[in-house]
Structure 1
Amino acid sequence: MIDVDGYRPNVGIVLLNADGRLFWARRVHRDGWQFPQGGMRSDETPLEAMYRELQEETGLSPEHVQVLASTRGWLRYKLPSRYIRHHQHPTCIGQKQVWFLLKLVGGEDALCLNACEKPEFDLWRWVDFWYPAAHVVNFKRDVYHRALRHFAPLVENMLSIELGPQPQSRRNSPRNKRAA
């Protein structure tokens, strides 16, 4: 399912543990790490797609998590041209995502990366809150930064912790600003 602008509807999942650290997973047969995410089916709401992707990619069921928040509207990113399949129509130029912040309420022993027939991840770990915004593949960094920035105040308030300074997004970094 691709929209008229060329974006595929998708959900992203930020999974938080009791210490304020985030679930970070490595893609199978690759060295790229990311949050769980996946495409929405035409008959799904974002929440339904999130629960399906959560089960497929982490083995977690709704009883293992608490939904804390979601982003308002879509956060978009464009794919680098080398990933665009120009021969397919409609052509997908990127993804538009609704991001969900979840808190793990069951034990981490419920995590199972091979819960589906074709696993997407082969390793996982807990990382500091801002780590993913600086370490995900370049073309996803801005959308990760925006999602985490949206969730940060809630996490700080809920856990009574300070997450520290947020890294600059690529879009806002000094070397990418246009001279006035």
Structure 2
Amino acid sequence: MLDREGYRPNVGIVLANSLNQVFWGKRIREHSWQFPQGGIKRGESPEEAMYRELHEEVGLRPEHVEVLGRTRDWLRYDVPKQWVRREWRSTYKGQKQIWFLLRLVGRDTDVSLRASGHPEFDAWRWNSYWVQLDSVIDFKREVYEKALTELARHLFIHPAERQPKWPSKNGVQTQ
């Protein structure tokens, strides 16, 4: 499913632990590291896609995380032509992503890279939030930088300045 400009809707996930370190997954049989991400299926909201991808790639369920924030708008990156299937080259340009910042409220042992039949990662680690992005494939680096910069405001504020969250009737927390 592509938009009019040739971008595939997608979600990206920045998962932080209690020390504000972020989850990085190593792509299977590659030397590149990345955040969990994946396409939005037809009829699926970005939030629904985020939870599905979180489980498929990292094995975590909604009860293991707290949503701290998301990007306001789509962030886009172009995929180099040589990476695009020949039959898609005339229509496919790249990905447009909504990025989510999550806090792990479960345990590290809740992470399972084999939760789905098609694992994306063969290793994972916690890194500093502001780690160098050289291990990210070059055409995604700018989007990673934009997402991390925009989402940082949800993670790096003094706890006393955070508004309390109150549960609503349907179980969704609000500010």
Q: Scaled by the length of structure 2, what TM-score is found?
A: 0.87
**Equivalent residue number for residue 41 of structure 1:** 41
The aligned counterpart of 2:120 is 120
Deviation at 1:132, TM superposition (A): 5.5
**Cα deviation code 1:58-114 (max 9, x no counterpart):** 000000000000001100000012112232377321000000000000111100000
Structure 1 residues 116, 25: CA separation in 2 closer, same or farther (over 3 Å shift)?
same
Name the stretch that deviates more: 127-136 or 142-151: 127-136
CA-to-partner distance for each residue in 1:101-132, whole Å, 9 max, x for gaps?
00000111100000000100010000011216
Compared CA separation, residues 125 and 131, structure 1 to 2 (3 A): same
Alpha-carbon contact 1:84-1:91 (below 8 Å) kept: no
| TM-score w.r.t. length of structure 1 | 0.84
Q: Structure 1, unaligned stretches of length 5 or more?
A: 161-180
Residue 131 of structure 1 pairs with residue 120 of structure 2: no
Query: Taking structure 1 as reference, are residues 90 and 116 closer, same or farther at Cα in structure 2, changes over 3 Å only?
Result: farther
In structure 2, the partner of 1:173 is none
Contact kept? 2:25, 2:35, Cα under 8 Å: yes
> Kindly tell me: are residues 70 and 46 of structure 1, through their superposed partners in 2, closer, same or farther at Cα, counting changes over 3 Å?
same
The match for 1:58 is 58
* Equivalent position of 2:111 in the other structure: 111
Using the aligned pairs only, state the percent identity: 51
* Equivalent position SS for 1:141: helix
Give the Å deviation of 1:155.
1.2
User: In the TM superposition, what is the alpha-carbon distance from 1:152 to its structure 2 partner?
Assistant: 1.4
Matches within 5 A, 1:1-180: 1-88=1-88, 91-131=91-131, 133-157=133-157
Q: Which moved more, 1:48-57 or 1:86-95?
A: 86-95
Deviation at 1:32, TM superposition (A): 1.1
Cα distance in 2 between the residues matched to 1:93 and 1:61: 31
1:33 CA drift (Å): 0.7
Larger relative helix fraction: 1
Contact 2:68/2:155 (8 A) holds in 1 = no
Q: 1:92 to 1:159 in 2, by over 3 A?
A: farther
* Structure 1 stretches of 4+ moved >6 Å: none
